[in-house]
Amino acid sequence: METADQSSISPAFWSVVRATATEVRGAFLSMPDEPYRGAKGIFPQVWCEWGSIALAEVLVAHELGEWTFVEMKLPDSPSGHSWIELRGDRSTALFTIDITLDQFPEWDDWYLGTAPTPALSKFSRTGYVGPWRDWPVVATNSSYAAYAEKMLRYVAQV
Protein backbone atom coordinates (compact mmCIF):
# COMPACT_ATOMS: atom_id res chain seq x y z
CA MET A 1 0.00 0.00 0.00
CA GLU A 2 1.25 3.46 -0.87
CA THR A 3 1.12 6.03 1.91
CA ALA A 4 1.55 9.78 2.08
CA ASP A 5 2.69 12.28 4.71
CA GLN A 6 0.92 11.62 8.02
CA SER A 7 1.69 14.96 9.70
CA SER A 8 -1.86 16.33 9.75
CA ILE A 9 -3.50 13.13 11.07
CA SER A 10 -2.94 11.73 14.55
CA PRO A 11 -0.86 8.54 14.51
CA ALA A 12 -3.53 6.61 16.42
CA PHE A 13 -6.25 7.56 13.92
CA TRP A 14 -3.94 6.79 10.99
CA SER A 15 -3.15 3.37 12.43
CA VAL A 16 -6.78 2.38 13.05
CA VAL A 17 -7.95 3.58 9.63
CA ARG A 18 -5.09 1.75 7.92
CA ALA A 19 -5.83 -1.48 9.82
CA THR A 20 -9.53 -1.22 9.03
CA ALA A 21 -8.91 -0.55 5.33
CA THR A 22 -6.47 -3.46 5.17
CA GLU A 23 -9.03 -5.75 6.81
CA VAL A 24 -11.76 -4.69 4.38
CA ARG A 25 -9.45 -5.06 1.39
CA GLY A 26 -8.75 -8.66 2.45
CA ALA A 27 -12.44 -9.28 3.05
CA PHE A 28 -13.26 -8.45 -0.56
CA LEU A 29 -11.76 -11.81 -1.50
CA SER A 30 -12.28 -13.82 1.68
CA MET A 31 -15.97 -13.20 2.34
CA PRO A 32 -18.40 -15.52 0.57
CA ASP A 33 -20.34 -12.67 -1.06
CA GLU A 34 -19.30 -10.59 -4.04
CA PRO A 35 -20.95 -7.55 -5.66
CA TYR A 36 -21.90 -9.58 -8.74
CA ARG A 37 -21.16 -13.03 -10.10
CA GLY A 38 -17.51 -13.42 -11.11
CA ALA A 39 -16.32 -10.18 -9.52
CA LYS A 40 -13.65 -11.85 -7.39
CA GLY A 41 -12.01 -13.22 -10.53
CA ILE A 42 -11.22 -9.73 -11.83
CA PHE A 43 -10.49 -7.96 -8.52
CA PRO A 44 -9.56 -5.09 -8.22
CA GLN A 45 -10.81 -4.11 -11.71
CA VAL A 46 -14.26 -2.47 -11.67
CA TRP A 47 -14.48 -2.75 -7.87
CA CYS A 48 -13.88 0.92 -7.11
CA GLU A 49 -17.49 1.85 -6.36
CA TRP A 50 -18.40 -1.31 -4.41
CA GLY A 51 -15.10 -1.29 -2.56
CA SER A 52 -15.18 2.39 -1.66
CA ILE A 53 -18.80 2.24 -0.49
CA ALA A 54 -18.27 -0.91 1.57
CA LEU A 55 -15.13 0.54 3.15
CA ALA A 56 -16.89 3.84 3.92
CA GLU A 57 -19.67 1.95 5.72
CA VAL A 58 -17.20 -0.05 7.80
CA LEU A 59 -15.29 3.11 8.73
CA VAL A 60 -18.53 4.79 9.84
CA ALA A 61 -19.52 1.70 11.85
CA HIS A 62 -16.14 1.87 13.61
CA GLU A 63 -16.74 5.58 14.33
CA LEU A 64 -13.87 6.63 12.09
CA GLY A 65 -15.67 9.54 10.45
CA GLU A 66 -18.13 10.27 7.67
CA TRP A 67 -16.38 9.64 4.38
CA THR A 68 -17.09 11.44 1.11
CA PHE A 69 -17.56 9.32 -2.00
CA VAL A 70 -15.63 10.76 -4.97
CA GLU A 71 -16.32 9.71 -8.55
CA MET A 72 -14.04 11.22 -11.19
CA LYS A 73 -14.09 10.72 -14.95
CA LEU A 74 -11.48 10.67 -17.67
CA PRO A 75 -11.25 14.07 -19.41
CA ASP A 76 -12.88 12.94 -22.66
CA SER A 77 -14.69 9.74 -21.70
CA PRO A 78 -17.53 8.50 -19.51
CA SER A 79 -15.09 6.03 -17.92
CA GLY A 80 -14.28 6.83 -14.34
CA HIS A 81 -12.87 5.82 -11.00
CA SER A 82 -14.02 6.22 -7.39
CA TRP A 83 -12.46 6.50 -3.93
CA ILE A 84 -13.31 7.99 -0.54
CA GLU A 85 -12.04 11.04 1.33
CA LEU A 86 -12.34 12.26 4.88
CA ARG A 87 -12.94 15.99 4.55
CA GLY A 88 -12.28 18.94 6.82
CA ASP A 89 -14.31 22.00 7.72
CA ARG A 90 -13.85 23.63 4.32
CA SER A 91 -14.63 20.40 2.42
CA THR A 92 -10.97 19.83 1.65
CA ALA A 93 -9.68 16.28 1.73
CA LEU A 94 -7.71 15.49 4.87
CA PHE A 95 -7.35 11.80 4.19
CA THR A 96 -7.82 9.70 1.04
CA ILE A 97 -8.35 5.98 0.57
CA ASP A 98 -8.26 4.63 -2.97
CA ILE A 99 -8.82 0.96 -2.17
CA THR A 100 -8.61 -0.17 -5.82
CA LEU A 101 -5.95 2.13 -7.30
CA ASP A 102 -3.96 -0.96 -8.27
CA GLN A 103 -6.54 -1.89 -10.92
CA PHE A 104 -4.63 0.46 -13.22
CA PRO A 105 -1.25 -0.56 -14.67
CA GLU A 106 0.32 2.75 -13.61
CA TRP A 107 0.07 1.83 -9.92
CA ASP A 108 1.18 -1.31 -8.11
CA ASP A 109 -0.83 -0.93 -4.91
CA TRP A 110 -3.85 0.71 -3.38
CA TYR A 111 -3.52 4.14 -1.76
CA LEU A 112 -4.10 5.51 1.72
CA GLY A 113 -2.75 8.88 2.77
CA THR A 114 -3.12 12.57 3.46
CA ALA A 115 -2.42 13.59 -0.13
CA PRO A 116 -4.93 13.17 -2.97
CA THR A 117 -4.99 9.81 -4.72
CA PRO A 118 -2.50 9.49 -7.58
CA ALA A 119 -5.53 8.65 -9.76
CA LEU A 120 -6.27 12.39 -10.01
CA SER A 121 -3.44 12.58 -12.55
CA LYS A 122 -5.61 10.46 -14.85
CA PHE A 123 -9.22 11.11 -13.75
CA SER A 124 -9.67 14.87 -13.71
CA ARG A 125 -13.34 15.53 -14.47
CA THR A 126 -15.77 15.46 -11.56
CA GLY A 127 -18.61 12.97 -11.81
CA TYR A 128 -19.95 13.13 -8.25
CA VAL A 129 -18.67 14.17 -4.83
CA GLY A 130 -20.77 13.66 -1.73
CA PRO A 131 -22.38 11.01 0.46
CA TRP A 132 -22.45 7.69 -1.38
CA ARG A 133 -26.15 7.22 -0.56
CA ASP A 134 -26.89 10.38 -2.60
CA TRP A 135 -24.86 9.21 -5.63
CA PRO A 136 -27.46 9.09 -8.46
CA VAL A 137 -26.44 5.56 -9.49
CA VAL A 138 -27.62 4.19 -6.11
CA ALA A 139 -31.21 5.19 -6.93
CA THR A 140 -31.32 2.56 -9.69
CA ASN A 141 -28.88 -0.03 -8.37
CA SER A 142 -29.45 -1.47 -4.91
CA SER A 143 -26.41 -3.77 -5.12
CA TYR A 144 -24.10 -1.12 -3.64
CA ALA A 145 -26.04 -0.82 -0.38
CA ALA A 146 -26.62 -4.58 -0.24
CA TYR A 147 -22.92 -5.35 -0.65
CA ALA A 148 -21.95 -2.74 1.96
CA GLU A 149 -24.39 -4.33 4.41
CA LYS A 150 -22.90 -7.78 3.75
CA MET A 151 -19.41 -6.36 4.33
CA LEU A 152 -20.49 -4.89 7.67
CA ARG A 153 -21.84 -8.24 8.81
CA TYR A 154 -18.76 -10.10 7.61
CA VAL A 155 -16.17 -7.90 9.32
CA ALA A 156 -18.23 -7.98 12.52
CA GLN A 157 -17.86 -11.80 12.53
CA VAL A 158 -14.11 -12.06 11.92
- The residue extents of the domains of the chain are 2-153
**Global confidence as pTM:** 0.92
What's the pLDDT at 9?
A: 64
Residue 156: φ, ψ to 5°? -70, -25
Tens-digit pLDDT profile for residues 3-45: 444 455 678 888 999 999 999 999 999 999 999 999 999 999 9
Report, as an integer, the average pLDDT of 123-142: 96
d(CA 110, CA 89): 26
Tens-digit pLDDT profile for residues 39-93: 999 999 999 999 999 999 999 999 999 999 999 999 999 999 999 999 887 778 8
Sort strands 93-98 and 111-113 into parallel, antiparallel or unpaired. Answer: antiparallel
Assess whether pLDDT exceeds 60 at residue 120.
yes
Sort strands 2-3 and 111-113 into parallel, antiparallel or unpaired. Answer: parallel
